[in-house]
Amino acid sequence: IRKGLAQLQKLADILPAIKRLDGEVVCIGNRPVTNEKYHEIWKGLWQNHDPVALKTLPQVDPGPSSRATKRLIREMEVRSRLKHEHIQGFFGITTDINHFICIVSEWRSNGNLLQFVAHTENVNKMHLLSGAASGLAYLHSESVVHGNGEFSTRYPHIYGEALICDFGMAKIVIDVSDTPSTITDTLSKSTSSRWMAPELIHRDEAELTFACDVWSFGMTMLELFTMVKPWAEFKREAHIHRATATGCKPARPEHCPDLTNRMWAVMLGCWEGDPTNRPVIATVASQIQCEDGGIRGYSTSFLCRTIPGRSRLNMPPTTVNAR
């Protein structure tokens, strides 16, 4: 019945009610786990038992009647529809922690992709990239642009699979903030040019697009293969700006046996200067899946897969973690 109602809601464009978790979540520690330019991430406990990630938005007036709060809740209601095995679970919001609105999400148990790879033996990088690409393709199929550039720091790792988080945060910050800002301004405060598509760097009124995500994903592939930041040959971002303005692409790294000719060609396609010439992320995901050795049969159904026990992402983590 619940599944049928959810499908009916989607067909009728009726948004599900967002969960208000006031009084159910407590914050752990005196310092955030991650401190971004426009939000912080704290570790918390739901009902004093289940670990959750608490994302605070200092720019948003937490008052229940504020325009920013209403816009944020509307955005979160849209996000609550998104359910996929490689998308971080969203549980609800709370307004009674640190005097900020907090987005309550699935806790990242093993850090981001780079941290996991650095501390784990015999990691299958292609498998991680395959999962991340399928999650990003699912977002695009739902008309959601990730838009936050540094994917490697926004792909937590859980259950041995890549998990996308922080998607759409740049747009959300702009939409709910009362301070006038542009996409370029917001990204420049949170994301290095090393991951940004050239149209975002060089155009003042640029818009976040699927093609921007594809460029950034190509940079994430390069970073995961090399374990160093993209454009490693440049120390200053000003040098990157000049390089991208003239159509340059990163040089192929030496001494990188995991990087095949086929995957290098995929990455070069992601870095096409003309956004309309870049492949869609579903194509990239298909190519990575094939390179992964056919461990899992590939079909476009990957856009809709969910992990058993994680299909009800609006439920507490005790349900989510049951396998």
- For 144-195, list the strands marked E by DSSP: 157-158, 161-162
Q: Which residue has the tokens 């390089």?
A: 243
**Statement to judge: residues 124 and 93 lie in one domain:** no
Q: Is 292 helix (H, G, I), strand (E, B) or coil?
A: coil
pLDDT of residue 72: 76
Task: Decide if 178 is inside a domain.
Answer: yes
Domain of residue 124, CATH code: 1.10.510.10
* Domain carrying residue 203: 111-295
The confidence score (pLDDT) of residue 159 equals 59
Same domain, residue pair 65 and 208: no
How confident is the model over 191-231, as pLDDT tens digits? 578 999 999 998 877 788 999 999 999 999 999 999 999 99
Chain centre distance of CA 122: 25
In the DSSP assignment, the letter for residue 112 is: B
Per the domain annotation, does 279 fall within a domain? yes
pLDDT band of residue 302 (cuts 50, 70, 90) is very low
| CA dihedral for 150, 217, 155, 182, sign (positive or negative) | positive
What φ, ψ does residue 35 adopt, rounded to 5°? -120, 100
Arithmetic mean of pLDDT, 54-60:
78
Q: Considering the domain boundaries, does residue 19 fall inside one?
A: no
Residues 136 and 274 in one domain: yes
- Residue keyed to tokens 């609006």: 314
Q: Specify whether 47 is located in the same domain as 170.
A: no
Say what the pLDDT of residue 229 is: 92
Residues 100 and 125 in one domain: no
Q: Are residues 62 and 99 in the same domain?
A: yes
pLDDT of residue 156: 56
Task: Specify the higher pLDDT residue, 98 or 249.
Answer: 249
The answer to whether the CB of 174 falls within 8 A of the CB of 187 is no
Backbone φ, ψ for residue 300 (5° rounding)? -70, -5
72 and 187 both lie in a single domain: no
Residue 91 inside a domain? The answer is yes
Contact indicator for 114, 104 with CB cutoff of 8 Å? no
The answer to whether residues 188 and 201 belong to one domain is yes
Res 276 pLDDT > 60:
yes
CA atoms within a 13 Å half-sphere pointing along the CA-CB vector of 173: 27
Please check whether residues 214 and 147 belong to one and the same domain: yes
For residues 289-312, one letter each, b for 16 or more C-beta atoms within 10 angstroms of the residue's C-beta and e for the rest, the string is: beebeeeeebeeebbebebeebee
| CA dihedral (108, 211, 130, 264) positive or negative | negative
The verdict on 255 and 282 lying in the same domain is yes
* Cα–Cα distance measured from residue 288 to residue 188, given in angstroms and rounded to the nearest whole number: 30
**Angle, alpha carbons 7-9-13 (nearest 5°):** 120
Sorted by sequence, the CB contacts under 8 Å of residue 1 that are 6+ apart come out as: none
DSSP 101: E
Same domain? 132 vs 276: yes
58: domain CATH number?
A: 3.30.200.20
Residue at 193 is within a domain: yes
Q: What is the C-alpha separation between 205 and 200, in angstroms, rounded?
A: 8
Q: Are residues 117 and 46 in the same domain?
A: no
Is 13 inside any structural domain? no
Task: Tell me the pLDDT band of 5, cut-offs 50, 70 and 90.
Answer: very low
The tokens for 65 are 């009647």
Which of 106, 124, 148 is the last residue in one of the domains? 106
Amino acid (1-letter code) at residue 308: P
How many domains are there within the chain? 2
Global pTM exceeds 0.85: no
Rounded to the nearest 5 degrees, what angle is found at the Cα of 166, between the Cα atoms of 42 and 11?
A: 125
Contacts for 309 with CB less than 8 Å, ≥ 6 apart: 319, 320, 321, 322, 323
Residue that is last in its domain, among 77, 106, 135 = 106
Residue where a domain terminates, one of 106, 132, 147: 106
Q: What phi and psi values does residue 231 have, to the nearest 5 degrees?
A: 55, 40
Amino acid residing at 100: F
- The DSSP 8-state label assigned to residue 250 in this structure reads P
Closest CA to 158 of 44, 52, 30: 52
Q: Does residue 66 carry a pLDDT above 60?
A: yes
Flag whether 150 is in a domain: yes
| 31 within a domain of the structure (yes/no) | yes
**Whole-angstrom distance, CA of residue 7 vs CA of residue 315:** 17
